[in-house]
Amino acid sequence: MKTVYITGCDRGLGLALAQTFIKEGFKVFAGSYLPNWSELQELKETAGKQLHILSLDVTDDNSVQHAAEEIKRVSPQLDVLINNAAIYKEQDGDVFETLDFSAIRSMYETNTLGPLRVSQSVLPLLMQGENKLLVNISSEAGSITDCKRVKEYGYTMSKAALNMQSVILQNQLKDSGIKVFAIHPGYVKSYMLGRLNKEATVEAKDSARGIVQQLLQRHLLDGPIFIDYQGQILDW
């Protein structure tokens, strides 16, 4: 059975990705940050041994390493890694007022350094996998070419840095057969703001379905690749 490790699975896109991969027959290792959130536990009741829930804080070195060790005890390999966990601080200020450097720093810690920690922790397992896909859930907000924003420093910079991370990883790992993707999931209805953003235009299940389809179709292509969940190539 093929295996996938997904961070940030408690709700929203992460949960939908877990559900979709389970339907595709994968064994799913689901990183969970919210201990009292019930949806992932409910999925466990139906998925059984196909779903392994891991306590995970991507900003904590020990938590990341502990999760990696748990995966190693269950599986000698990993076919797909999806770095999905991310945060968005709605008000980080602007240069004419007050910049919230603490909020900006926390977004970098979760959105940029978190994926790098997780990727490093399971790289030996990924190198043993069949698909060898490393996926960073990025955002069109990380595109420098297409940026028209005048605020949102923390989130946009953290995603632009994640895109650069994706390119560097592909440069380093291409001889190992690992393919690196940066994927914009669309404007997904999620809880990234701490509440459901009902104004979003894409259902999590639709984004997840599109992402999985793209990965299963494009895994033979050379990378790095920056695409959206529908397969459109985006500008870095």
Residue 199 has pLDDT above 80, yes or no: no
What pLDDT score was predicted for residue 195? 61
pLDDT for 191: 64
| Rounded mean pLDDT, 215-226 | 73
Tens-place pLDDT, residues 72-101: 999 999 999 999 999 998 777 788 888 899
**Tens digit of each residue's pLDDT (9 = 90 or more) over 169-191:** 999 999 999 999 999 999 887 66
Percentage of the residues of the chain whose pLDDT score is greater than 70 = 93
Domain boundaries, the chain: 3-228
In which band, very low, low, confident or very high, does the pLDDT at 223 lie, cut at 50, 70 and 90? low
Predicted pLDDT at 224: 65
What pLDDT sits at residue 205? 96
- pLDDT of amino acid 197: 65
| CATH entry 2.40.400.10 includes domain 3-228 | no
Compare 147 and 76 and report the one with higher pLDDT: 76
What are the backbone angles phi and psi of residue 32, rounded to the nearest 5°?
A: -125, 125
Q: What mean pLDDT do residues 208-215 have? A: 96
Please say if the pLDDT value at position 20 is more than 80: yes
Residue 220 has pLDDT above 70, yes or no: no
Average pLDDT, the chain: 92
199 versus 168: the higher-pLDDT residue is 168
